[in-house]
Every structure is written in structure tokens, then in C-alpha cells.
Amino acid sequence: MVRWIVIGILIALCLVRYIYVVRTQIQVNIGDQVAVTGVIWNGKIRLENRSFIILDKLVDLSDGDEVTLVGRVSSQVIDKIGQNIFLEEAQIENNYTPIFYKLRVYLEKRITKYLPGDLGGLASGILLGGNRLLDYNTKRDFTRDGLSHIIAASGYNVVMVSGWLAYFGRKIKHQKLMILSGLLGTILYMLLAGLTASIIRAGIMSILSFTALIYGRKSDAIWSLLITAVIMILWNPWYIADIGFQLSVAATLGVLVSSGSEINILLMVQLFTIPLILHHFGQLSLVAPIANLLVVWTVPFIMQLTALGLIFVPVLYLAWPFLTYMLFVASQLSRWPYASLTVGQMSWSWVAIWYLVLAIVYNRYYAKRQIAPNDR
């Protein structure tokens, strides 16, 4: 009971913070002239409120350029707040520091030099995150198959990188070095992959876990997720409206409440993310469970071989069969007549009902079955 009261208080704090920020924004109406300033990354202008503007490919701009767009509001935005449209103060958001941005570009060029085309683009996307090096048709295939999360830097990447460095620290039998290595790996990868919502979420959770080890304790993963989400929202309330943040939290929660079975994990992730996907995009990938089951197992191999290949190039070629296999599966499944269906957008009320039902089912049946063996 106490746990639920605490959860309710934390959620209330986040909502109060969000409502306060929304009400203090500059309100604009249809027909008003506005100016928006941002920084180019991945072909889009990144804005302070976690949104972006897609640019025409003919525009001669490159990543890192600062631009200002001036125009009139002619239609309502997709994710408006109530009946109003809000304009953030002209602030610049750049998820990359100059040094790490240059390092990232260098690593991408090194990968694509030896793995050309979509092979290099996919390897780079899996290791560093991002799909900008992939062909348009390949991006479409991954979207239709429900595989876009594979080429987006996420919690899995953070865990892998911090785990690698922690492993070396553990090998020399020095616990403090293991913990410090894990923390360092987490922070460095966050800066290299870009401080997106999913990366920040995973990074904070990883840091909380390593901090708990310093004090000789094990962290509660679900509580770590909740605390992380609260910290992020209190710091930047716009994360509530960030699709990447919503999907990252939902998918992570799905993993945490599932059992160790790979099929079970995939099923729970799908159940926890479907309502958000339907709300934002109104599309449902019918082949997503099959696609994920067929290719997810290759991700750790690709990621590790690509990382090692940056140091010793011949190793990079060992990732070639896995990359080819993943591209083949994505291409073939996307051709199925009903691979992706447009079913219409789900309202927030139905999203809430969906998660309420999941919570009731989990609390009444699933959680008890997981706890039972430990109580014997």
C-alpha cells in the first residue's frame, strides 16, 4: 500500500511540473508569425521541447549547423496540448558535444569504409544508434517490421558497453575498478550516442545500479526505472510528450516484469508498447513478434564484432553474415501483404485503460507466479 502511495505522489509531482511548464509557455495562434531556432542533426532541426522539423533533402545544410526558421502557423501540430499551440523560447538543443560528435562521425566513416551501403549503415546504427546512413527503403522495411528500435541507441546498448568495461574490471578482481569502469563506460557511451531520451533513461538507471553496488546493495530495477523517469521529467517536463521517452520506459517496464524466456520478453515488450504506437502512429505491425524473434539474437554479435572491428578491422567482416541476414529478414517480412496495418489512432483514455488492465493482470496473476518459487 505504501509503495502505491509513493508512486501516486511521484506521478502527481511530475504532472504538476508539466502543467506548470505548459502554462508558462508562449502561446501562439493560427496565423501568427514565429521564429524557431535549432541545430541540425540527422537531417532534422532539433528543438528544445523534444520535437523536430524535417528538412528538404535539397537544402544544403549539414549536421551541427545552427538555423532559424521564420514562418506563420498555418495548421495545428500533431501533439498539441488541449486546444492550444505553444512556442518554446528560442533555445538551442544539441545532443552532442563537439569532441564526441567528431569522434562519432569518424567511427561511422570507419565502419562504412569497410562495410559499404546498408551493411555499414546498419552496423553503425546498432552500435552508435541512428538510421541516417540507411537507404530509405531499408528504413521503411524496419519500420513496417517493428524493428526500428534495433537501430536506435537504447538501454541495451548502454548495458552492453558498461558491461564490457565492468567485465575487464572484474577480471582483475578489483571491485571498485569494476564499478568505476562501468560508470565511465556508461557516461562515455551516453555522450557518444547522443543524449536522447532513451539513452539518458538507460544511463541514469545504469548509474543508479553501479552506485548501489558501491554501497553493497542491489538496486530494484522497477524502482530505478520509476525514479529515473521522475528525475528526467522534473528536470525537463517535455519528456512526457517525447515519443522516444514513452516507448523507452514502456519497453523497459515490459522487460522488467517478464520472466527470463526470450519469447516471453518479446511478448511483454509488444504488449507494453502497442498502445503508445497506436496512439502516436495509428499503425500496427503484425509481423513484429516474428521479426524480432528472428533477428534480435544477432544484435549482440553485430554490436560486439563492430566494436572490436573498429580496433582490428578484419573482425569487422565477421559481422557481415549477421548484417546480411538481418537485412534479408527485414526486406522479406516487409513484403507480406498485411505486414503493417493502419488501424487509426488510439485515444489517451484507451491507452490508460490498456495499462490499467495490464497492471491488474500482472498484480493478480503474473507477479504471484514469479514470487511463489522464492517463498518456498
pLDDT tens, residue by residue, 11-35: 788 778 777 776 666 666 677 777 7
Averaged pLDDT, 169-181: 71
53/245: higher pLDDT: 245
For residue 182, what pLDDT is reported? 78
Lowest mean pLDDT among 151-165, 200-214, 288-302: 151-165
For residue 65, what pLDDT is reported? 65
At 199, is the pLDDT very low, low, confident or very high (cuts 50, 70, 90)?
A: confident
Averaged pLDDT, 101-118: 89
- To the nearest whole percent, how much of the chain has pLDDT over 70? 73
C-alpha span between 33 and 338 (Å, rounded)? 43
Tell me the pLDDT of the chain averaged across its residues.
77
175/374: higher pLDDT: 175
- On the question of pLDDT at 370 being above 60, the answer is no
Is 310 exposed, middle or buried (CB count within 10 Å of its CB: 0-12, 13-18, 19+)?
middle
Lowest mean pLDDT among 277-281, 350-354, 363-367, 370-374: 370-374
- On the question of pLDDT at 202 being above 50, the answer is yes
Q: Are 274 and 350 in contact (CB under 8 A)?
A: no
| Residues 299-347: tens digit of each pLDDT | 989 999 999 999 999 999 999 999 999 999 999 998 888 878 877 788 8
320/46: higher pLDDT: 320
CB atoms within 10 A of CB 81: 15
Output the nine-digit C-alpha cell for 282: 495509428
- To the nearest whole percent, how much of the chain has pLDDT over 90? 14
For residue 323, what pLDDT is reported? 95
CA distances to 6, 39, 276 from 226, in Å: 11, 31, 18
In SS3 terms, 284-340 reads as: EECCHHHHHHHHHHHHHHHHHHHHHHHHCHHHHHHHHHHHHHHHHHHHHHHCCCCCE
DSSP 221-268: HHHHHHHHHHHHHHH-GGGGG-HHHHHHHHHHHHHHHS-S-HHHHHHH
- DSSP-derived 3-state class of residue 145: coil
For residue 42, what pLDDT is reported? 54
Phi/psi for 72 (5° steps) reads -110, 145
Lowest mean pLDDT among 80-84, 238-242, 318-322, 372-376: 80-84
Identify residue 78 by its one-letter amino acid code.
I
- On the question of pLDDT at 255 being above 60, the answer is yes
Output the nine-digit C-alpha cell for 102: 567528431
40/126: higher pLDDT: 126
At 367, is the pLDDT very low, low, confident or very high (cuts 50, 70, 90)?
A: low
Look at residues 225, 281, 222, 271 and name the one whose alpha carbon lies nearest to residue 248. Answer: 225
Q: Are 96 and 194 in contact (CB under 8 A)?
A: yes
